[in-house]
């Protein structure tokens, strides 16, 4: 999220950030593969553990927390696929900065977020992501075999609060991008 915030400096700075990422070459592909594998592992492990506990079956073991995490995870998956398809594999505009041709991600972002429907989709998906992060973190902190086993009640509350504040912070950073672009920079 930090690099994406360069849009608040200028479109040129944002494009230079994008160029810096793409200039990583093979390392960028390794990072992307690592993130994709982690995402798939997280989703698979969560679903398998929840399914094996019987918490998604209607009945005595049904858990609304598990259902919320599964449904919000599905929304996050749709969001991530849409985002990657749009910004990683979307139109490839170019611009020249300091005599070098670079991908014009600023133009792409302005075009994408000119649509209020797209901005609303992003805001809703990011709110769901924030809830997913908060629910998942709270569940992790409170697990008897997790942090709850080692920390005092006050320390657990502090850990839960820190995680929730971080989830809100990440969400606000990401949500600021489409809102700012739509309101102040759309073509």
pLDDT digits 0-9 by tens, 110-157: 999 999 999 999 999 999 999 999 988 888 888 777 777 888 889 889
Backbone angle region of 59, left / alpha / beta, with phi > 0 → left and psi within -120 to 50 → alpha: left
Cβ pair 147, 159 in contact under 8 A: yes
pLDDT in tens, 37-77: 999 999 888 878 777 766 666 666 667 777 788 889 999 99
Using DSSP's 3-state secondary structure scheme, residue 94 falls into: strand
With tokens 């019987």, the residue in question is 54
Sign, CA torsion 27/28/29/31? positive
The encoded tokens of residue 179 equal 């809102």
Whether the per-residue pLDDT at 29 is higher than 90: the answer is yes
DSSP symbols for 27-42: HHHHHHHHHHHHHHHH
User: Which residues have CB under 8 Å from 59's CB, separation 6+?
Assistant: none
Closest CA to 122 of 61, 170, 79: 79
* CA distance linking residue 143 with residue 145, whole number of Å: 5
């Amino acid at each position: 999220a930090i690099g994406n915030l360069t849009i608040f400096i200028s479109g040129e700075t944002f494009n230079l950030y994008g160029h810096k990422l793409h200039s990583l070459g093979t390392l960028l592909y390794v990072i992307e593969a690592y993130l994709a594998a982690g995402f798939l592992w997280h989703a698979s492990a969560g679903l398998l553990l929840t399914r094996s506990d019987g918490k998604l079956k209607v009945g005595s073991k049904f858990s609304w927390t598990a259902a919320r995490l599964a449904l919000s995870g599905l929304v996050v998956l749709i969001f991530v696929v849409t985002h990657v398809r749009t910004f990683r594999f979307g139109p490839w505009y170019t611009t020249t900065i300091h005599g070098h041709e670079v991908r014009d991600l600023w133009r792409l972002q302005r075009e994408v977020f000119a649509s209020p429907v797209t901005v609303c989709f992003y805001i809703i998906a990011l709110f769901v992501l924030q809830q997913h992060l908060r629910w998942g973190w709270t569940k992790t902190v409170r697990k008897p075999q997790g942090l709850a086993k080692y920390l005092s009640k006050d320390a657990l509350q502090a850990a839960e609060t820190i995680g929730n504040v971080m989830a809100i912070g990440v969400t606000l950073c990401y949500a600021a991008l489409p809102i700012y672009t739509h309101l102040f920079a759309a073509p």
